[in-house]
Amino acid sequence: MTCARVRRETLVSTLPTNGKVEPFEWQAVRAESAGVVGSVGVVDGRPVTKGALLAQITDPSLQAQIDAAAAKVNEMQADLASLEAAVKPAELTDIENGLARANLDLQQAQREHATLQRLADKHAATPADVRAAADRIQQLQTQIAGLERRRHTVTPPADIDAARARLQDAQVALKLAQQQAALSEVRAPMAGVIYGLAVRPGTYVKPGDLVANIGIMDRLRVRVYIDEPELGRVALGQPVTITWQALPGKQWQGAVERKPIAIESFGSRQVGEVVCSIENPERQLIPGTNVDALIRTAVVDGALVIPKEALRHDAAGDFVFVLKSDAIERRPVKTGNSSVTRIQVTDGLAENDAVTLPSDTSLKPGDRVTPVFGGAS
């Protein structure tokens, strides 16, 4: 019967699982206008700077709108210039000066009329003087009204205001058409590395269609799912080692960044999502890959350990078969931390005890066996 000794050693407790890689920071870049992709200025895996042109979307109707709007602006500018040129500057100046003088004279005449009226009430001025002052006021008012009519004839403000409003509307329409055309240039919203490029020249896109993803690749996140009973072993900052089957022998190091905030169903399992941050200086690990993760949950010096396969379990709990002399004895045990191949025993065993390993032979307490200590001990 193959057996193993209970030994004391430094146990590095690990929690193996798997996960999926995503960039530490990333953005999906989407088309904002419909059209045919005329050119693509990037390739997957290449870095880009913020604002770099990723793709040009062509829409012939947009250029037609811009041309029509520009022609309308030119037409409205010509109309306004024609109306403004019809104004006679010298004549307008004379009218404005005449209005200013007439208004000053009117104010003076109104004051003189008021003074004469007070004097007449005191019999210090004649009614004829008062009437003459009133006539002067009326003459000036008639003069001002005539000048106002001449000014409106020389400068039709309503026509010019309307022309200016039409020009402003045409300029707004041109600006909107130009802004719409600018949306056909798909530019990088951040610096990073292109991945998941979804378009090529000739592709037709609609607003919202994915053009590409941009991410920071020298640092990544790995989302791993841990079974609910094991979540108590996970803590922030614990070291994590990532391996990828596509690059055997290569490892990436990181740490636990975020613990789960909820338990969710994953097939038949109840799991929590643990997020790990991973350094990727050579950018060999790429987003979307499925990887293996090993979380180092504890390091126990001088732990009593046995091979994992020596531990058995039934309705009564965990136990091992211990060799006493040449007979088998069932021994209940309590366990602690574990590595991939070893598990800590915190109660039930002593150093150098011999435990049996699984075999094709069914064992029961009291069976007599011949121990063979192999490499697993």
Report the distance separating Cα 76 and Cα 168, nearest Å.
Answer: 9
Model pLDDT, residue 155: 57
CA 30, 32, 36, 38 torsion: positive or negative? negative
Model pLDDT, residue 340: 80
Model pLDDT, residue 1: 82
Q: Which SS3 state, helix, strand or coil, does residue 47 take?
A: strand
- The 3-class secondary structure across 116-145, one letter per residue, is HHHHHHCCCCCHHHHHHHHHHHHHHHHHHH
The residue type of 175 is: K
Model pLDDT, residue 145: 92
Residue 95's Cβ-count burial label (10 Å; 0-12, 13-18, 19+) is: buried
Model pLDDT, residue 376: 46
Q: What is the pTM of this model?
A: 0.53
Strand order in the sheet with 192-195: 26-30, 210-215, 192-195, 47-48
Residue 317 β-bridge partners: 314
Model pLDDT, residue 4: 93
Q: Which of these, 348, 248, 236, lies nearest to 295 by C-alpha position?
A: 236
Report the distance separating Cα 70 and Cα 177, nearest Å.
Answer: 10
Model pLDDT, residue 60: 65
Between strands 2-5 and 372-373, the pairing is: parallel
CA 116, 122, 126, 131 torsion: positive or negative? positive
First CA to last CA distance, the chain: 13
Extract the tokens encoding 126. 């004649």
Whole-number Cα distances in Å, 225 to 220, 260, 274, 331: 17, 9, 6, 34
Q: What residue spans of the chain are helical by DSSP H?
A: 60-85, 89-121, 127-154, 157-182
Contacts of 114 (CB under 8 A, 6+ apart): none
Model pLDDT, residue 189: 92
Q: Which SS3 state, helix, strand or coil, does residue 2 take?
A: strand
Model pLDDT, residue 173: 85
DSSP designation for 234: -
Report the distance separating Cα 88 and Cα 79, nearest Å.
Answer: 17
Count CB atoms within 10 A of the CB of residue 6: 20
Report the distance separating Cα 374 and Cα 359, nearest Å.
Answer: 13
Model pLDDT, residue 352: 94
DSSP designation for 361: S
Model pLDDT, residue 370: 85
Give yes or no for a contact between 34 and 206, defined as CB atoms under 8 angstroms apart: yes
The residue type of 96 is: E
The residue type of 164 is: R
pLDDT in tens, the chain (377 residues): 889 999 999 999 888 999 999 988 889 999 887 888 888 889 888 899 999 999 888 776 666 777 888 888 898 888 888 776 665 667 777 888 899 999 999 999 999 999 998 888 888 888 898 899 999 999 999 999 998 888 777 655 667 778 888 889 888 988 887 766 665 788 999 999 998 899 999 888 888 999 999 998 899 999 999 999 889 999 999 999 999 999 999 999 999 999 999 999 888 889 999 999 999 998 899 888 999 999 999 899 999 999 999 999 999 999 999 999 889 999 999 999 888 889 999 999 999 999 999 888 888 899 998 888 865 44
Model pLDDT, residue 238: 95
